[in-house]
Structure formats: C-alpha cells, structure tokens
Copies of this chain bind each other. A is one copy, B any other.
Amino acid sequence: MNMQVKALTFDTGGTILDWHSGVCSAFQKVGARHDMSLDWHAVTNDYRRLAMKGIVGQVQPAFNMDDVHRTALDEVLVQHGLQQFDAAERWQIFHAWHQLAAWPDFPAALARIRQKLPAISFTMLPLSLVLDVSRKNDLDWDAVISCEMIGIYKPNPQAYLRAAQWLGMEPSEILMVACHNFDLNAARACGFKTAFVRRPFEWGPEGPPDPKPHPDCDIVVDGFDELAKLVGI
C-alpha cells in the first residue's frame, strides 16, 4: 500500500459486525415464542435507524449506545405493535448486540493486517460491547477507541481529530476503514485516508441505503481479504 499510513482505524458496527443477522435472529426467536411471523428484517432495520438517530453526532451525551439500544428497542416495539414482549425478552434482543458475529472475512484479515500496521476499532459502540464481541470472534485489536471514551460521536470532526491525537499521528497517517460514506466522508474532511469496504448484506435482504462508495475514497474493496492484501504490499 503506497499511502504511507501508520495505522488503520475500523468502523466496527456494520463494517466488522453483522448486526442485522444477529439482532434479526433475536427478534425471530422472541417472536416465535409469541407465534408471530412478522417481517423481522424490517423491524431490525427500523430498530437500527432509531438507534443511529439517537447517537450519531452526539456531544457529551449522558448515555452510551447500550442505553440507546435499550430505549430504541422499546420504541420500535411500540411502532410494530409488539408491546407484549416482556422484560426478559427485551433483554434477550438487547443482549444480541453484545454477541454479534464478525463478518467471516474479517478475523483472518485483521491478524494479517496487524503483522504490518496497528489496527484500531474506532466506533460509536460502547467499549464493553466491543470487548465482548472481540473475545467472541477472536479479534485482537491494538486498541479500541470508542466515541464513548471521546465523549463526541462520529461524524463530528472532533471525534476523528481526538482519535488521531490519541494515536499520536497526523490524520493523513491514518486509514479510516468503513462501509459507510457518512463516516468516511467525515474522516476525509479531517485529513484521514479512507477505505470503503463493501458490505452488501449489512441491512439484510433490503441492502444498504448508501452502497456506492464516494469517488474520493483512496481505496475501494469488496472485502477484507482484498484490504489485507493491499496493506501487505
């Protein structure tokens, strides 16, 4: 990779973690107990949209994304007439976030990338969630920088600048990796290099809302094998 970057920062929810399958499966299991067969894909995506709305761009919030996941779950259940889900069932769905699977091409790629450069999870998800899913998926990061720790959430530029400061690097020395243009565009505006990784199944059968990489991305890859190969060069 001829970009002279010194580290890679990875968006984690969506880019690394398959939230749609994990959360949808939890909805399905609870729904089955109530003999329901809704479009759980749609419920899951409505839930995700509500959660993102609750956290994106927040500055010094009194809550983290776990709190948002709890609140947004209650809201989406009302929207879809599912108020009968009890506290234990709601916890089961909420807890699915802490048990998400990584996309299958990521764990081996992470290990390869780290032979060359530091790899950092840089995420709106809480630190404790990243710890849980990283242990579950055998992901060893060089560090986890959660926006919870910064107190300012992506895509606020201060979040990216603070992450670069903590890494002791210029933004131009960092490659931000994500499957979301909103994240990469904000990182690029702060001076980061950017890599778009296609995750066509992030939103399940519906497909992602913004799948076409912005033309200013430095790298566009179909998956993490391809990214690991580029980093190895």
A residues contacting B by CB (< 8 A) are 66, 118, 126-131, 134-135, 140-146, 148-150, 166-169
Contact = CB atoms under 8 A, between A and B. Distances in A.
Number of copies: 2
Given A118-B131, A131-B118, A166 B143 contact: no
Nearest to A148: B166
Contacts of A142: 131, 134-135
Contact of A143 (B127, B167, B169): B127
A225 B131 CA distance: 24
A131 B148 CA distance: 20
A166 B140 contact: no
Contacts of A145: 127, 149
A168 B135 contact: no
Given A166-B128, A167-B128, A168-B128, A135 B118 contact: yes
A66 B128 contact: no
Nearest to A132: B168
Nearest to A121: B143
A134 B134 CA distance: 18
A128 B168 CA distance: 6
B166 A149 contact: yes
Nearest to A130: B143
A66 B131 contact: no
Nearest to A140: B140
B149 A66 contact: no
**10 A-B pairs with least C-beta separation:** A128-B168, A140-B140, A127-B166, A149-B149, A143-B144, A131-B142, A128-B167, A118-B131, A131-B143, A127-B143
